[in-house]
């Protein structure tokens, strides 16, 4: 059956509208596509028919049938469910984000889908079964990213039916492990695997031999493997077979004081340039020295290195572009980075335990800003910071697109002398013009209402913000959201703030691009009525009710932790949620 549209490209285009159908397939940026689709119905249709990928930052923003109706030829989707706070244990596990309706729609009417990425969603074995049987060999990519609710049975179904799968990822997902059959099945039949990821999954029933077989069968294609904590010696055969491997994370280096040379004979694939070895200690560090010069990405989040170890290692990695580690790296480590890693683009420093020592302060950050000018992403937990340091960052790091700073609240209070940070923050924002993501998590007194006003005024391109313990009164929010402020802010997260419900709702109404709001810790009204200020069509307002959650502390005692209420509000074309658990309350016409 000939589609009359296919005849068009051959003839001379009569007008711009004809041209667009030829041009638009080459337009891949989502924002460009969105703009193009607004021009007129012909352009809208051209975009709709040729759009290959869609990311939905919140799965409840629309409905599955709307998606498939508008983009009938979609090849790839990425959906996100739970609020980001779920990664920090703040959201009830059954909050929502069920993939079922989406998987059913894929099976029903999205016949071109070959790549599916679910992030922070709830997935069942049945969902995986439906998906696998619907797409069969055409499914090339499946990413179950920080998901929960399924079991290894579901994985087995996927592997059995989708024989040509290239990417299989279940990173940091929480699921029931019944057996290791799914890996065995992959080993038996797959010859096209490029990316295998079961990092951070606590799987114990997998066979390293299956992994080695997969490496052998897929040696041409396998470039990335992120695995659980197999002892590294058990992975020796795997490494020998995976000749094209470029990225590896996981394994476990289990030191044996009686065998200090336990791992020295380990050889790594020749192209390995992205690496993270779990429990890497000072003793084992030398095993990566032979190829340290080619390392571009290093994950030390789950290593057991001290400050000096970091310095020793960093010195050997002049081509390092991405580093993730804990704050044990210390100021000394940051100074080493500034000196040796001029190509550094992304740096993430997470909060370790207090007993690790190593502190990150303005000393290290200033050196870093002056030495690593290529930085685009910087996320740091600091013990101390100054206005001058922030000013320096603004002056030097002109390529910064994503900046996140958390001021730690340590037990033995290291007095942070230079609060409030109003001026430093202003200088940073004014200097880093390309900033699109910004997070500032301080403490009471860390930023005044004036400072909050600066954030509003000097963030012309910022699309996402996380603000913790900023401002002093509702006036701060008024300044933050005044006309012209935060013009592109789409997603706002706030925690531990002193603002009233009314002020929050009023600010929401002022922010022109805001489509998603999350708040935990605010001055609530008696009835939640003040949220009525932000009542408007297509704007869903939900409350995650205050809860007491049983938690086991370090001594193994069961206590209860109080979780205050959250506000979650977002634009949706799908109406209000109908699948909430008891802890989520949908606010109707207030």
Partner 1 sequence: MSKATTELDFFGLDKNQTNNAPKPMFKKTLDRRRSFREMQGAISKMDPEIIKSLLASGANRSDSSTRSFSVPSTPKEDHPHRPSSPLHAPLSRLELVSGTVPMTIFYNGTVSVFQVSPNKAEDILKVAMETTPKNDKSMEKDLSVIPPTTLGSKLFGKNLEGDLPIARRKSLQRFLEKRKER
The interface with partner 1 within residues 321-340 (CB under 8 A) comprises 326
Considering only the stretches 20-28, 338-346, 424-432, 518-526, report the one whose residues sit in contact with partner 1 under the rule CB under 8 A. 518-526
Distances (CA, A) of 241 to 71, 184, 266, 533: 41, 17, 13, 62
Q: Does 111 bind partner 1 (CB under 8 A)?
A: no
- Does position 495 interact with partner 1 (CB under 8 A)? The reply is yes
Question: Shortest approach of partner 1 to residue 259 CB, angstroms?
Answer: 16
Any alpha helices (H) in 385-468, and if so which ranges?
387-396, 422-431, 449-457
The C-alpha atoms of residue 454 and residue 499 are separated, in whole angstroms, by 17
Q: Does 302 bind partner 1 (CB under 8 A)?
A: yes
Nearest to 472 by CA among 456, 449, 494, 493: 449
The residue (of 244 and 500) whose beta carbon lies closer to partner 1 is 500
The angle formed by the CA atoms of residues 444, 450 and 454, to the nearest 5 degrees, is 110
In angstroms, what is the minimal distance from the CB of 104 to partner 1?
9
Q: Based on CB atoms, which residue is closest to partner 1, 98 or 268?
A: 98
* Binding-residue total with partner 1 (CB under 8 A): 76
User: Is residue 98 close enough to count as binding partner 1 by CB under 8 A?
Assistant: yes
Q: How many whole angstroms separate alpha carbon 361 and alpha carbon 359? A: 6
Q: Distance (Å, rounded) from C-alpha 58 to C-alpha 65?
A: 15
**One of 115, 224, 520, 572 touching partner 1 (CB under 8 A):** 520
**β-strand partners of 141:** 115, 167
Binding mask 253-282 for partner 1 (x = CB under 8 A): --------------------------x---
Q: Which is nearer to partner 1, 90 or 212 (CB)?
A: 90
Give the nearer residue to partner 1 in terms of CB position, either 32 or 202: 202
- What is the smallest separation between the CB atom of 408 and partner 1, expressed in angstroms? 7
- As measured in angstroms, the least distance from the Cβ of 121 to partner 1 is 10
Residues numbered 407-436 forming contacts with partner 1, rule: CB under 8 A:
408-409
The least distance separating partner 1 from the CB of residue 484, rounded to whole angstroms, comes to 29
Q: Which of residues 203-242 bind partner 1 (CB under 8 A)?
A: none
Q: Does 2 bind partner 1 (CB under 8 A)?
A: no
Least separation in angstroms between residue 82's CB and partner 1 is 10
Residues in the chain: 590
Question: In this chain, which of 526, 553, 555, 589 binds partner 1, going by CB under 8 A?
Answer: 526
529: tokens are 């009525």
Which of 369, 408 has the CB closer to partner 1?
408
The answer to whether the Cα torsion of 201, 207, 213, 219 is positive or negative is positive
Q: Whose CA is closest to 444, among 520, 495, 478?
A: 495
Q: Which is nearer to partner 1, 147 or 372 (CB)?
A: 147
Residue 21: CB minimum distance to partner 1, A: 39
The answer to the question of residue 89 lying near partner 1 (CB under 8 A) is yes
> Is the CB of 353 or the CB of 557 nearer to partner 1?
353
Record the tokens describing residue 21, joined without a space: 């159908």
Between 485 and 534, whose beta carbon lies closer to partner 1? 534
| Residue 545 engages partner 1 in binding (rule: CB under 8 A) | yes
DSSP string, 545-580: PPEEEEEE-TTS-EEEEEE--EEEEEE-SS-S-S--
Closest of 446, 398, 401, 396 to residue 425, by C-alpha: 446
φ, ψ at 82 (rounded to 5°): -65, 150
Q: How far is the CB of 284 from partner 1 (least distance, A)?
A: 13
Which helix (DSSP H) or strand (DSSP E) does residue 365 occupy? helix 362-371
Residues 6+ positions from 45 with CB-CB distance below 8 Å: none
User: Which of 39, 107, 243, 304: binder of partner 1 (CB under 8 A)?
Assistant: 304
Integer-rounded Cα Rg, in Å, for the chain is 25
Closer of 273 and 572 to partner 1 (Cβ): 572
| Shortest distance in whole angstroms from residue 107 CB to partner 1 | 12
* Closest to partner 1 by CB, 369 or 492: 492
| Contacts (CB under 8 A) with partner 1, residues 449-468 | 468
Q: Given candidates 395, 521, 533, 590, which one binds partner 1 under the rule CB under 8 A?
A: 521
Residue 445, φ and ψ in degrees, nearest 5 = 95, -10
Q: Is 573 in the site for partner 1 (CB under 8 A)?
A: no
Q: Is 182 in the site for partner 1 (CB under 8 A)?
A: no
**CA–CA distances in Å: residue 76 to residues 79, 131, 327, 538, 549:** 10, 13, 37, 26, 37
Q: Which of 5, 93, 179, 256 binds partner 1 (CB under 8 A)?
A: 93
Q: Among 230-238, 311-319, 416-424, 515-523, which window interacts with partner 1 (CB under 8 A)?
A: 515-523
Compute the half-sphere exposure of residue 284: CA atoms within 13 Å on the CB side of its CA.
23
**CB 222, CB 196: distance < 8 Å:** yes
SS3 112: coil
Residue 450: CB minimum distance to partner 1, A: 18
Task: Please calculate the CA angle 405-366-334 and round it to the nearest 5 degrees.
Answer: 80
Q: Which one of 48, 63, 124, 207 is in contact with partner 1 (CB under 8 A)?
A: 124
Distance in Å, CB of 282 to partner 1, minimum: 14
Sites for partner 1 among residues 134-163 (CB under 8 A): 148-150
Give the separation between CA 417 and CA 360, rounded to whole angstroms: 15
Rounded-to-integer distance, Cα 528 and Cα 543, Å: 9
Count of other CB atoms within 10 angstroms of residue 273: 18
């Amino acid at each position: 059956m000939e589609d009359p549209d296919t005849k068009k490209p051959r003839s001379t285009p009569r007008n711009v509208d004809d041209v667009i159908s030829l041009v638009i397939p080459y337009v891949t940026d989502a924002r460009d596509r969105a703009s193009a689709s607004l021009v007129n119905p012909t352009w809208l249709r051209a975009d709709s028919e040729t759009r290959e990928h869609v990311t939905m930052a919140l799965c409840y923003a629309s409905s599955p049938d709307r998606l498939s109706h508008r983009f009938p030829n979609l090849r790839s989707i990425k959906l996100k469910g739970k609020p980001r706070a779920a990664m920090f244990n703040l959201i009830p596990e059954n909050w929502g984000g069920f993939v079922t309706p989406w998987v059913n729609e894929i099976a029903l009417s999205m016949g071109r889908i070959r790549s599916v990425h679910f992030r922070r969603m709830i997935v069942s074995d049945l969902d995986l079964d439906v998906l696998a049987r619907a797409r069969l060999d055409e499914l090339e990519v499946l990413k179950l990213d920080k998901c929960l609710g399924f079991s290894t049975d579901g994985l087995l179904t996927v592997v059995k039916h989708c024989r040509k799968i290239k990417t299989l990822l279940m990173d940091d997902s929480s699921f029931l492990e019944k057996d290791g059959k799914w890996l065995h099945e992959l080993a038996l039949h797959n010859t096209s695997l490029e990316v295998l990821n079961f990092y951070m999954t606590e799987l114990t029933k997998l066979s390293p031999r299956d992994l080695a077989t997969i490496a052998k069968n897929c040696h041409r294609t396998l470039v990335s493997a992120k695995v659980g904590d197999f002892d590294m010696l058990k992975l020796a055969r795997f490494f020998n077979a995976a000749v094209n491997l470029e990225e590896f994370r996981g394994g476990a280096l289990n030191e044996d004081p009686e065998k200090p040379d336990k791992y020295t004979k380990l050889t790594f694939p020749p192209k390995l340039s992205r690496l993270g070895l779990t429990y890497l200690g000072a003793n084992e560090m030398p095993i990566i020295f032979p190829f340290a010069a080619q390392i571009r990405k290093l994950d030390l989040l789950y290593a057991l290195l001290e400050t000096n170890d970091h310095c020793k290692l960093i010195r050997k990695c002049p081509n390092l572009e991405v580093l993730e580690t804990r704050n044990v790296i210390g100021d000394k480590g940051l100074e080493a980075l500034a000196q040796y890693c001029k190509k550094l683009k992304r740096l993430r420093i997470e909060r370790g335990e207090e007993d690790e020592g190593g502190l990150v302060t303005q000393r290290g950050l200033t050196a870093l800003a002056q030495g690593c000018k290529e930085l685009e992403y910087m996320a740091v937990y600091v013990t101390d910071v100054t206005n001058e340091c922030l000013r320096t960052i603004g002056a030097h790091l002109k390529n910064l697109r994503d900046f996140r700073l958390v001021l730690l609240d340590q037990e033995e209070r290291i007095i942070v002398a230079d609060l409030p940070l109003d001026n430093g923050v202003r200088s940073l924002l004014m200097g880093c013009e390309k900033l699109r993501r910004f997070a500032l998590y301080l403490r009471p007194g860390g930023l005044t209402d004036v400072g909050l006003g600066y954030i509003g005024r000097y963030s012309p391109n910022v699309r996402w913000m996380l603000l913790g313990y900023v401002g002093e009164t509702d006036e701060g929010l008024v300044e933050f959201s005044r006309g012209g402020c935060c013009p592109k802010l789409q997603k706002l997260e706030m925690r531990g703030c002193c603002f009233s419900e009314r002020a929050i709702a009023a600010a929401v109404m002022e922010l022109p691009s805001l489509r998603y709001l999350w708040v935990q810790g605010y001055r609530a009204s008696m009835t939640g009525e003040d949220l009525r200020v932000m009542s408007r069509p297509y704007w869903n307002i939900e409350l995650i009710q205050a809860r007491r959650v049983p938690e086991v502390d370090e001594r193994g005692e069961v206590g209860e932790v109080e979780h205050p209420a959250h506000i979650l509000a977002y634009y949706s074309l799908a109406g209000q949620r109908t699948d909430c658990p008891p802890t989520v309350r949908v606010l109707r016409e207030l």
